[in-house]
Chains A and B, each alone.
Chain A
């Protein structure tokens, strides 16, 4: 999937997305999800565009919705999206050491969510519903069960070698 950050955005694609769901306020979240799927984040220009295109919306309300839900990202995500589950079960079984190991391995500074080489982005989620396999890490849809701080380093190294 290509990242179209900063470069010209094809608004025709945005129109297609709006039309496929219907140009209604109640479809905003689904539209934004599809936009993020396509562009890997929500570009400000696209949010403004949607806010002016759909009746009943404004750029401010679109921005409000985009910043309310944690799924939406206003910055480009990495090629590999790491989701560490920090739900109760995973927390109790040791999700924090895994999270710290990832931050250390990716050299992420305080508040930084995407690695400098844009290969990985990291977020914690509240519960993936796979509590029997705690602690759980998901990378681009693949679920890694019973993770440890050593295990996750091996996985990241493997992905980095293959994916860079």
Chain B
């Protein structure tokens, strides 16, 4: 018997929201906070105190929300009642917005987003290309609700799915719905979620756990952070539904230490949910109990791997364990454990509210639904997006992303972080889904998409990732521990200009050994960036090795700084600027750089008034 009247609670919540008067939503995700959004919020609150004397609104409430996703244009301010979205708002702009728009109803044109193609000012976020092309389901509420209010979560149908699930009291039906939806693990593995639930539920009877993987270690990925910061109740609800379906009564959310705001919001959300009887003992007055704890990570990428994560929760070094046995059978503290990614779990309430067939109306044949991506790097509109599976890379980078910064040339997109690979021009029209990406030698991974332009050295990127995975290797198994070290040494040799052609064969041999021999996903996928870049940019490697040149002009050791004789006026400014005395020449005669002394600091380049010094 479910003792929770969701409809009544929703009405109450909506009443409360109406009582807030004019709502001013200010993004308070980590990104916008760094850009001063807390000051913007304070200023709005200060000014809004007298709104009733100046307007027909009897109250103004400033609402801190989670990440909107349009990080390039932060701080974002949305006033739903006025159908307006302001971008790049600074504390100094608040007074003008308040006076001109809130009081006098005249929008402040200069703070509106300008469409780069039409040069028009856009009022509503739904009309901004960045948002218009997205389909936000997991991220639906991020940026629209007060992330620290359980009431606002309820107002947007939070906990309605859980109520339905408990009223119907049929765990098997829940699992079937998830199976039918086609949802696949959003953390990178892409394993069918419903099947995982089925396996774990088969072992119920004793103690079982639900664990949420909020480690999000991939550099360049912040999707899970945004869900945890912007709509924590959605995650809690997803976990509760999962626990009910697989027979668990206790759970953990493992959040990496680098996300203090997410940890804070989750703690508050859990406390509020427990107080409202929506979590903890006897949820909604039923027999179902689910106690949720938060475990903070301590800075180890490998702890994103499920068995290492569980070792970490158990208080040990985060070293992976062999599978089988799989967590569904023997996981946390030796018990059956369901472990899912944040985004996967956030999709659960959405699926149960709208139905499996709604969810699988999006996406491709084997990859259903939507996927969040963190679009970063050399793209105009960096930020967080959510699109249906099957959207092409071209749409993401050039449409939603607005194209390459500075209108430079597109070179590649690195997807899947340190476990992923590159996608090049030839992949621009490929529908992005789990299977297509694996065929192309990459993977969806967590969804981090880093755009690289012509000025990026691909070999250096491969070295960068190998350096990262080598550092993060836990050391337990030889292929990963030693193999990544040797691969890194070779890559370092190559970017330092000391590479030999045989190195490429050795690199490939090592890559296969590491892939085949490693114990866990970290080692198994660490060689991917190398293999992928070798496949599509072999010429660039060869240029570094055979010609001792870095085509992108990045690798310091391969840079050659030269003074053009015909342009040099012999003013001696460069010789005086050089910190190592590598430049010589007589006054009024062309100067020369001694390449053996030059440290490539480029100080002379900047000093020359005649632009006579160039990089070759």
Contact = CB atoms under 8 A, between A and B. Distances in A.
B296 A127 contact: no
Interface in A59-106: 61, 64-65, 68-72, 86-93
B450 A89 contact: yes
A163 interface: no
B590 to A, nearest CB: 30
Given A72-B298, A93-B377, A88 B312 contact: no
Nearest to A56: B315
A132 B451 CA distance: 12
A133 B71 contact: yes
A130 interface: yes
A71 to B, nearest CB: 4
A30 interface: yes
A120 to B, nearest CB: 19
A126 interface: yes
Interface string B358-393: 000000000000000010111000111000000000
A141 B448 CA distance: 24
A153 B180 CA distance: 56
B194 interface: no
Of the candidates B314, B450, B452, the one having the most CB atoms from chain A within 10 angstroms of its own CB is: B450
Contacts of B448: 88, 131
A104 B30 CA distance: 29
A28 interface: yes
Interface stretch (B51-59, B237-245, B257-265): B257-265
A129 B317 contact: no
Contact of B314 (A26, A125, A134): A26
A109 interface: no
B222 A24 contact: no
Interface size range of chain A in the complex: 35 or more
Interface residues of B, number: 54
A64 B258 contact: no
Interface in A15-42: 24-30, 32-33
A145 interface: yes
B317 A64 contact: yes
Given A92-B450, A133-B35, A145-B34, A68 B300 contact: yes
A108 B218 CA distance: 29
Given A71-B299, A88-B377, A127 B316 contact: no
B530 to A, nearest CB: 15
B471 to A, nearest CB: 8
Contact of A131 (B299, B301, B382, B452): B382
Nearest to A90: B219
A90 B34 CA distance: 15
Contacts of A143: 30, 33-34
A144 B33 CA distance: 10
Contact of B318 (A27, A32, A68): A68
Contact of A29 (B31, B35, B298, B461): B298
Nearest to A143: B34
B331 to A, nearest CB: 14
B315 A26 contact: yes
Of the candidates A28, A132, A133, the one having the most CB atoms from chain B within 10 angstroms of its own CB is: A132
B434 to A, nearest CB: 21
Contacts of A30: 295-296
B499 interface: no
B10 interface: no
Contacts of A27: 315
B377 A132 contact: no
Contacts of B218: 127
A14 interface: no
Nearest to A141: B260
A89 B259 CA distance: 17
B525 interface: no
A47 interface: no
A133 B315 contact: no
Contacts of B143: none
A67 to B, nearest CB: 9
B518 to A, nearest CB: 18
B610 to A, nearest CB: 24
A40 to B, nearest CB: 16
Contact of B30 (A33, A61, A92, A130): A130
B30 A128 contact: yes
B221 A129 contact: yes
B34 A126 contact: no
Contacts of A144: 34
Interface in B200-252: 216-222, 225
A127 B295 CA distance: 19
Contacts of B220: 87-89, 127, 131
A122 interface: no
A129 B225 contact: yes
Given A125-B299, A132-B72, 16 more contacts: A25-B314, A25-B315, A29-B295, A33-B257, A61-B316, A65-B315, A88-B377, A89-B450, A92-B450, A131-B221, A131-B376, A131-B448, A132-B71, A132-B376, A134-B382, A143-B33
Interface of A: 24-30, 32-33, 61, 64-65, 68-72, 86-93, 125-134, 136, 141, 143-145
What 9 A-B pairs have minimum CB-CB distances, sorted nearest first? A132-B71, A87-B219, A143-B34, A69-B298, A129-B222, A89-B376, A70-B299, A127-B219, A71-B299
